[in-house]
Amino acid sequence: MINNGVPLPPTVYPLAKGRVWAMLAGSLVFVGLGVGFLIAHSTVKMTAAGAVAVPFFGLCSVIIVQRLRRDRPELMLDDTGVDHERLGRFRWDEIAAVRIREQRVRNASQRFIELVLHDPDAYLARAPKLVRSTASMNARLGFGPAVMATNTLPVPPETILDAMRRHCPGLAVQH
């Protein structure tokens, strides 16, 4: 938004490194458990669990380390749009609305910021490979392709939505 002829400075949110370090520790614990299951191989179930846990959480650990090594903001908002580390760049005119979503699994919940896009297919055509590969799973869960996890951001999602509205006052917020 331009205030008295002067554009707003970008709003920059760094990676919440403490939370991401905790995620790395958790992934490494599961790699260790998987290795233990493979070594013990006392039951078929334990061996299968280890065979799944080691590569999956090993890959998670590698991705987390890569994120920690990058010196890029997790999210940047400016007068032209949104730039997210994993999702890429969106112009404000591509975004029909934003909303906070929550996914509950048993006793835990995860909050997300969903960018509701005018043309999701156009975004998917240019989206990073990981986003394209998870789009069908997101759709089965009732989400669009542009969903930001908030656990890697240093502020609550409501703060992000407020900043989005400062940069784009006409932005629709769905509840």
pLDDT in tens, 137-151: 888 888 888 999 888
Q: Give 65-98 pLDDT, tens digit per residue.
A: 887 888 788 999 999 999 998 899 999 999 999 9
> Looking at the predicted structure, is the pLDDT value of residue 169 above 80?
yes
Say how far apart CA 171 and CA 166 lie, in whole Å. Answer: 9
Q: Summarize pLDDT for 49-63 with one digit per residue, the tens.
A: 888 989 898 988 888
DSSP 8-state code for residue 141: T
The tokens describing 96, both together, are: 């029909």
The span from the CA of 142 to the CA of 139, in Å, is 5
Is residue 149 within a helix (H) or strand (E), and if so which, with residue range? strand 147-149
Q: What is the pLDDT of residue 1?
A: 55
The mean predicted confidence, pLDDT, of the chain is: 87
Q: Are 152 and 19 in contact (CB under 8 A)?
A: yes
Comparing 36 with 104, the larger pLDDT belongs to 36
Q: Are 8 and 166 in contact (CB under 8 A)?
A: yes
Cβ-contact 147, 75 below 8 angstroms: no
Q: Tell whether pTM > 0.85.
A: no
d(CA 121, CA 102): 23
Mind giving me the DSSP string for 69-137?
H----SEEEETTEEEETTTEEEEGGGEEEEEEEEEEETTEEEEEEEEEES-HHHHHHHS-HHHHHHHHH
